[in-house]
Amino acid sequence: MDTPDPHANKLDDRQRRQLQHELKLYMEKYFKEKLGKGVDYTRITIWEDMLIIRGERFLTDPELYIIQTPAGKEVVRAARMQVARQHSIDNLGYFEKVLQAKAIHQTYDIEPEKDFWIHVVVFDRMLTE
């Protein structure tokens, strides 16, 4: 494993807020292109050595109907977890390039009953000042 560059640029508050905004627009465009429906609420947080992406109100009307039963919740959760896995495959390299850091851990989860998802990536260096 490569050792992180201790002199790599850390984002100041202005740069961090600007990059969070750019990543938010990128993620909204990604989901609109891939799924035909965007996420109603997206929040991007870059903090210390982490990138946190969370979204709310992303389920389609048919999915909202399906999750009314316990079995339906599991079906929608499984389908959306596959979407989250594909999102990670498609975008992790992009996040590493933009942040000039290597991802060392990630996790994602979906809560269909709350119409909520989250993706957290931990990098090999501090990203913020």
Domain annotation covers residue 8: no
31-35, 66-70, 83-87, 98-102: lowest mean pLDDT where? 31-35
Mean of per-residue pLDDT scores for the chain: 90
The 3-state secondary structure of the chain, one letter per residue: CCCCCCCCCCECHHHHHHHHHHHHHHHHHHHHHHHCCCCCEEEEEEECCEEEEEEECCCCHHHHHHCCCHHHHHHHHHHHHHHHHHHHHHHHHHHHHHHCCCEEEEEEEEEHHHCEEEEEEEECCCCEC
5 assigned to some structural domain: no
What domain range includes position 105? 13-123
Number of domains in the chain: 1
4 assigned to some structural domain:
no
Q: Is residue 113 part of a domain?
A: yes
Q: Is the pLDDT of residue 11 over 90?
A: yes
Domain contains 31: yes
Asked if residue 6 belongs to a domain, the reply is no
